[in-house]
Amino acid sequence: MSRAPYERPITSEWIFRHPRYLRYMVREFSCLFIGGWTLLMVWGLHQLSQGPAAWAAFLELLRSPASVGFHLLTLAFALYHSTTWFNLTPKALPVPFIAAAHYAGWAALSVVILALAL
Amino acid sequence: METVSTDVAIIGAGGAGLRAALALAEAAPKLRIALISKVYPMRSHTCAAEGGAAGVIKPGDSLEQHFDDTVGGGDWLCDQDAVDYFIAEAPKELLQLERWGCPWSREPDGSVAVRPFGGMKLMRTWFAADKSGFHILHTLFQTSLKYPSIRRFDEYYATELLVDGACCRGLTAIEMRSGQMRRFDATAVILAGGGAGRIFPFTTNGAIKTGDAMAMAYRAGVPLKDMEFVQYHPTGLPNTGTLLTEACRGEGGVLLNKAGRRFLQDYGMGPETPRGHPVLKTMELGPRDRVSQAFWQEQKKGNMLPTQWGDCMLLDMRHLGEKTINERLPLVRDMSISYMGVDPVRDPVPVRPVVHYMMGGIHTDLRAATPLPGLFAAGECACVSINGANRLGSNSLTELLVFGRRAALSALDFVEQKKDAKPLVAEADRAQARLRELFQRTGGGETVAGLRKEMLQTMEEHAGIYRSGEGLGAACAKLAELRRRYRRIELHDKTNVYNTDLLQALELGSMLDCAEAVVQSAAARRESRGAHQRLDFPARDDRHFLRHSLATYDAGGPPRISYQDVVITKSQPGVRDYSGAHA
Amino acid sequence: MSERAVELEVLRYNPETDKEPHFQRYALSCPQEWVVLDVLNKIKESVDPTLSYRWSCHMAVCGSCGMMINGEPKLACKAFLRDYRGTIRVEPLRHFPIERDLVTVIDDFVAKLARVKPYLIPKEPPPEGAEYRQTPAQLKRYKQFTLCINCMLCYAACPEYGLIPKYLGPAAIALGHRWNLDSRDGGREARQEELAATEGAWECSFVGACSEVCPEHVDPAGAIQQVKIESTVDWYRAHLMPWTNKQK
């Protein structure tokens, strides 16, 4: 009869209500940079297929300050994303040492890639 | 007025109410069941019970022994035919719960585990860590979701039973969210609304334990039986009153006075057993009434620890070790740390007796039927009596299941025989009018909080662990006065939507009725038995008082007290021996 | 007993007199060791009897008293004054409609709980006259998910639930998972439809707030991720090895 349940409107202020939500959004936001980096790599492959001049131009682009800045940011986001992801893995797969196993795998893979690159 | 038509209406959705609903839904899938509760079922106070539920399953135990423990524990005020029934049904009910998925704690071989409990000669208390009531409640509630025939009315406050000359035909209830009253036309009604511990200021009971079901039956002319028997649980937290389960002592915890000395052996529960190796039915595993009374005596000698919340004893569980405490008493540890700032792994916890359970309640026979045809009752609100003058720990959770089911079967029987249904429209309208009068009343001068405070003070002072004729007389007079002043209560909140000022006013009315029944029955019982101890009549008097008290409503005045014999079959009243001598 | 000055700012709403909720301030003196619930009780008793809220056990087991305290979902009976400075803001649990003052409408949660079939669907009939055997290790596997007190703090913390009301939500999924993990239960397939739906576990983006605010350490976030993995495995098995599907 006199009921009138009140629904409080949802705004994006929730992101700032507690540090955990901001951290979450940063984690999710990282996908923009990682996605962007992937596109850059695809572009690089394409340039490779266009011959040595195009490839050289691409490498020049990579050396530009903007590109370096972008790569540093992307690396930071990727590290953040990876560490948060690995740390959360035990919740999804409650197997002993699973997080450590992820880090170990990451380290091993990094060593291999570095060896190939150098 | 909006109406609901149903075959059976169950008031209260705790352990007993849910068990009744399940029994009905399984026995008669086409039966219309209305499950009415002033709170959502998972909030029912069953959730706070910690220790466990008793039932004979282990080899070496027997129904006979559970019977003896219960009847002796009840100081021979139990109806022995009812106890016989209870004991036999107990293991079946606990097994049924397991089949519904209850997470009972287990032995290494996968069978159900049992733990020691106060007043029991052998281990027979099934448990789910130290949240047994919680798990039982949630198992029952979640299982009830399987049955569409159980129609729930959550947050409906039942106000009155509708009775014509011959039988109970339903009830009125307020839908709390809208404030509107509904009439429930029911062929049978089962009351399962719990006890009334909130009539005392220090209690393990939650806010909702206000004796509404007891009061409803009382006002409909059903006597309240053995109301004077109020159980104090020896180990409640002194600030919040909340419960530290008896299982603390079952696992080996000990009680110390301020000098760090165990003292129960001075009160007939010795000899002192080795720390951490409790012997059943002695010392800290004595029955609750004896242990609480020992506290009171020891306190009189000045041996209790004074704290900012009053005198306390110490519950020492350090010797149990962190592993055992975390495994078997995790809730206890959490509560001690959060609310007392004491970690039981490192320090003894200050505790003291607090009101916990009402042995008394709505008079029923062993079929859970009240004298009013069509009205049944089960759980703490009922008094069959299987608990007599003092209940043994872990018999209550089992009681909910056994008599929840029993009430359901009796109600089903009744429904199958009844032919006519007659909606009591005029009676319901009168109930509505009474409510409206309270709502619209002005200039009364009394408040809910004010009267409630006076009631609590009176009960604490005069109706505690030890009582006297003089004190009880004062309490009777005071409660009669409060009853009269209650008619002048004025609400501050006169709106309709979820009005908790109104709720609390109605709950106070229930509490005043229950409190008056307690003190009047206590004043009339001139003996000491179980949880009812009189300083002026310290001995048990079987000749005059091996009987149940019945408090019957007498409009506008105190209840009339009468007596009914106890059913004695096998066990003649003897001496309650909790000394090690019997071992 | 030492007291301290306490100031509460409580969100009030009475549909009969208010168009919208508004804050009301209360100032009083309370014992230091109290919780916010104790303060609310004192306000109701001695200052303002019209304040409505739910509570019962005062020991964090009934789940009644969930509310937002300084913007965080908490049980009022476990929000210790010692942890707060200055004015304490008390609001009804977020993401649920407000019925009155601090009382919310929880119909949505109650309906969702029923949908996950939170009861035993036995794998096989029980042994004659005896209990199902379940070892302590088997019990441990699902035990933590049985501890949910249905307080809905997780729903208040979950931004997905706030943005997408159809989402099943942490507690409901965790309780479905509790039964899936019970060694006596064979109902995983029956629960699949709800749990593995788009609005089931897959709506979750692993914010993890639910587990952070859970007063019973149920870890619903963990349960939801485990449901995601389980339902993925089930899907692949059903499609790549159709001969293993149960006869319908």
Percent of chain B with pLDDT over 90: 90
Q: What is the pLDDT of residue B117?
A: 87
Q: Is C136:B108 a contact under the CB 8 Å cutoff?
A: yes
Give the model confidence (pLDDT) of B308-342 as tens digits.
888 999 999 999 999 999 998 999 999 999 999 99
For residue B406, pLDDT over 50 is answered with yes
Q: Which of B103, B242, B341 sits opposite C59 (nearest CB)?
A: B242
The tokens 């027979």 sit on which residue? B124
CA dist., res. B394 & res. B54, Å (int): 5
**Chain A interface, mutation test: which of C12, C18, C207, most A Cβ atoms within 10 Å?**
C207
Q: Which of A3, A14, A92 sits opposite C15 (nearest CB)?
A: A3
All structural domains of chain C with their residue ranges? 3-104, 107-244
Q: What is the pLDDT of residue B57?
A: 93
Q: Which of C20, C72, C162 sits opposite A18 (nearest CB)?
A: C72
Q: Which residues does chain B have within 8 Å of residue A6's beta carbon, measured at their own beta carbons?
A: none
Task: Decide whether C3-104 matches C107-244 in CATH topology.
Answer: no
Here the tokens at position B301 are: 């000698």
Q: What is the pLDDT of residue C246?
A: 65
CA dist., res. B273 & res. B193, Å (int): 40
For B497, the closest chain A residue by CA position comes to: A3
Mean pLDDT on B208-228: 98
For C34, the closest chain B residue by CA position comes to: B339
DSSP code per residue over B80-137: HHHHHHHHHHHHHHHHHHHHTT----B-TTSSBPEE--TT-SS--EE-STT-HHHHHH
Q: Is C212 on the interface with A (CB under 8 A)?
A: yes
The answer to whether the CB atoms of A5 and C15 lie below 8 A apart is: yes
Question: How close B375 comes to chain C (CA, Å)?
Answer: 27
Mean pLDDT on C123-148: 96
For chain A, 118 residues long, the average pLDDT of each consecutive 10-residue run is 91 92 94 94 93 92 94 94 90 88 93 92
For B498, the closest chain A residue by CA position comes to: A3
For residue C50, pLDDT over 90 is answered with yes
Q: What is the pLDDT of residue C244?
A: 80
Active site annotation includes B540: no
Residue B120's identity, in one-letter code, is M
CA dist., res. B426 & res. B434, Å (int): 12
CA dist., res. A52 & res. A35, Å (int): 26
The answer to whether the CB atoms of A6 and C20 lie below 8 A apart is: yes
Q: Is B98 on the interface with C (CB under 8 A)?
A: yes
Helix (H) or strand (E) holding B236: strand B230-236
Q: Is C237 on the interface with B (CB under 8 A)?
A: no
Query: Quick one: which of B10, B362, B15 has its CA closest to B190?
Result: B10
For residue B419, pLDDT over 50 is answered with yes
Mean pLDDT on C37-66: 97
Q: Is B327 on the interface with C (CB under 8 A)?
A: no
Give the model confidence (pLDDT) of B370-386 as tens digits.
999 999 999 999 999 99
Q: Which of A2, A20, A93 sits opposite C209 (nearest CB)?
A: A20
Question: How close C114 comes to chain A (CA, Å)?
Answer: 23
Considering chain B, what is the average pLDDT of its residues?
A: 95
Residues 44-103 of A with CB under 8 A from C: 88, 91-94
Catalytic residue among B249, B406, B462, B529: B249
For residue C1, pLDDT over 70 is answered with no
What dihedral do alpha carbons B278, B282, B286, B290 form, nearest 10°? -140
Here the tokens at position B8 are: 């059976």
Q: What is the pLDDT of residue B580?
A: 73
CA dist., res. B228 & res. B559, Å (int): 13
Number of A–B residue contacts, CB under 8 Å? 12
Q: Is C60:C52 a contact under the CB 8 Å cutoff?
A: no
Here the tokens at position A12 are: 């994006």
Q: Is A2 on the interface with B (CB under 8 A)?
A: yes
Question: How close A6 comes to chain B (CA, Å)?
Answer: 13
Q: Is C105 on the interface with A (CB under 8 A)?
A: yes
Q: Which residues does chain C have within 8 Å of residue B208's beta carbon, measured at their own beta carbons?
A: 56
Question: How close B496 comes to chain A (CA, Å)?
Answer: 7
Mean pLDDT on B474-478: 98
Q: Is B1 on the interface with C (CB under 8 A)?
A: no
The answer to whether the CB atoms of A14 and C162 lie below 8 A apart is: yes
The answer to whether the CB atoms of A6 and C13 lie below 8 A apart is: yes
CA dist., res. B352 & res. C20, Å (int): 46
The tokens 């952070």 sit on which residue? C212
The answer to whether the CB atoms of B496 and C16 lie below 8 A apart is: yes
Query: Quick one: which of C185, C127, C124, C132 has its CA closest to B111?
Result: C132
Q: Which residues does chain B have within 8 Å of residue A3's beta carbon, measured at their own beta carbons?
A: 177-178, 497
Q: Which of B42, B241, B498 sits opposite C52 (nearest CB)?
A: B498
Q: Is C231 on the interface with A (CB under 8 A)?
A: no
The answer to whether the CB atoms of B99 and C131 lie below 8 A apart is: yes
For A93, the closest chain C residue by CA position comes to: C226
Q: Taking the CA atoms of chain A, what radius of gyration do you get in angstroms?
A: 21
Please give the backbone phi and psi of residue C22, each rounded to the nearest 5 degrees, phi first.
Answer: -150, 155
Give the model confidence (pLDDT) of C70-84 as tens digits.
999 999 999 999 999
Give the model confidence (pLDDT) of B234-275 as tens digits.
999 999 999 999 989 999 999 999 999 999 999 999 899 999
Q: What is the pLDDT of residue A118?
A: 85
Residues 38-77 of B with CB under 8 A from C: 39-40, 42-45, 47-48
For residue B94, pLDDT over 50 is answered with yes
Here the tokens at position C92 are: 């009804």
Q: Is B3 on the interface with C (CB under 8 A)?
A: no
Considering chain C, what is the average pLDDT of its residues?
A: 95
Residues 216-255 of B with CB under 8 A from C: 239-243
Q: Is A6 on the interface with B (CB under 8 A)?
A: no
**HSE on the CB side for C221, CA within 13 Å?**
21
Residues 164-183 of C with CB under 8 A from B: 175, 179, 182
Mean pLDDT on B179-186: 96
Q: What is the pLDDT of residue B582?
A: 54
Three-state SS for A93-110 is CCCCCHHHHHHHHHHHHH
Question: How close C228 comes to chain A (CA, Å)?
Answer: 8
CA dist., res. C76 & res. C60, Å (int): 9
Q: What is the pLDDT of residue B581?
A: 64
Q: Which residues does chain B have within 8 Å of residue C57's beta carbon, measured at their own beta carbons?
A: 43, 45, 47-48, 206-207, 242
**What is the set of domains in chain A, with CATH numbers?**
12-89 (1.20.1300.10)
Q: Please state the pTM of the whole predicted model.
A: 0.95
Q: Which of B101, B138, B500 sits opposite C52 (nearest CB)?
A: B500
- In words, the CATH class of domain C3-104 is alpha beta
Question: How close A36 comes to chain C (CA, Å)?
Answer: 21
pLDDT band at C17 (very low <50, low <70, confident <90, very high): very high
Query: Quick one: which of B151, B263, B158 has its CA closest to B217?
Result: B158
For residue B65, pLDDT over 80 is answered with yes
- In words, the CATH class of domain C107-244 is mainly alpha
Tell me which DSSP letter residue B529 carries.
Answer: B
Active site annotation includes B277: no
For residue C216, pLDDT over 80 is answered with yes
Residues 6+ apart with CB under 8 A from B392: B54, B69, B70, B73, B74, B117, B118, B119, B120, B287, B288
For residue B583, pLDDT over 70 is answered with no
Number of B–C residue contacts, CB under 8 Å? 160
Q: What is the pLDDT of residue B444?
A: 87
Q: Which residues does chain C have within 8 Å of residue A4's beta carbon, measured at their own beta carbons?
A: 15
DSSP code per residue over B19-84: HHHHHHHHH-TT--EEEEESS-GGGSGGGG--S-EE---STT--HHHHHHHHHHHTTT-S-HHHHH
Catalytic residue among B152, B233, B391, B405: B233
